[in-house]
Amino acid sequence: MARYVDLHPENPQPRLVGQVVDALRDDALIAYPTDSGYALGCQLGNRDGRDRILRIRQLDERHHFTLMCKDFSQLGHFVHVDNAAFRAIKAATPGPYTFVLPATPEVPRRLMHPRKRTVGVRIPEHVVVCALLEELGEPLLTSTLILPGEDEPRVHGWDIKEELDHEVDIVVESGEVIPQPTTVVDWSEGYPEVVRVGAGDPARFAA
């Protein structure tokens, strides 16, 4: 049965943030709000958590996971960012963009795209997520909480608690969530290719 944790959207309670992060370090899988709808998240080293995400969403091994990073410096430890990408990505973050880039050896192989050896990264603009990432001290392995047969991410914590009560360990609530998917930019070939248009303005990455 999932625990329901209610965090203040502007001033998340440090004690509760600490409890969620302690659970993550103990291999918990959480459902948490982001600036683009709810997501599923676990620690990078949590093999079971990764498998549970695939099972809940009914995805295969080719799924592109995203590493939710607290800042650009952390992002740079997990993906290769060449000079051409550096300034453009830095200028667009934090914000509603996900970038697909070649992974560094810091990323476990099971989290990379099996053929391309890439991984998605993003830096969110969401107070609660930033508090969790700051306390955790490493990226959060993440996948948008879109359930099989649905087109948009879930937006209500209570709804997720009811639906996934025995599938996740914690549901984090922090008020209204707007389902605005990120704009996805694939930079793995050395140039930007917008592969999904979302909340972020794609024009800044147009060829």
pLDDT tens column, 21-69 = 999 999 999 999 999 999 999 999 999 999 999 999 999 887 889 999 9
Label residue 100 by pLDDT band (50, 70, 90).
very high
Placement of tokens 């087109």 in the chain: 151
Contact between residue 39 and residue 32 where contact means Cβ atoms under 8 Å apart: yes
Segment 171-204, tens digit of pLDDT: 999 988 888 889 999 999 999 999 999 999 999 8
Whole-prediction pTM value? 0.94
Beta sheet of 3-6, edge-to-edge order: 3-6, 170-173, 30-34, 37-42, 140-144, 66-68, 118-122, 97-102, 183-186, 193-196
Band the pLDDT of 207: cuts 50, 70, 90. Answer: low
State in words which class domain 3-205 has: alpha beta
pLDDT category, 8, cuts 50, 70, 90?
A: very high
* Residue whose structure tokens are 């676990």: 42
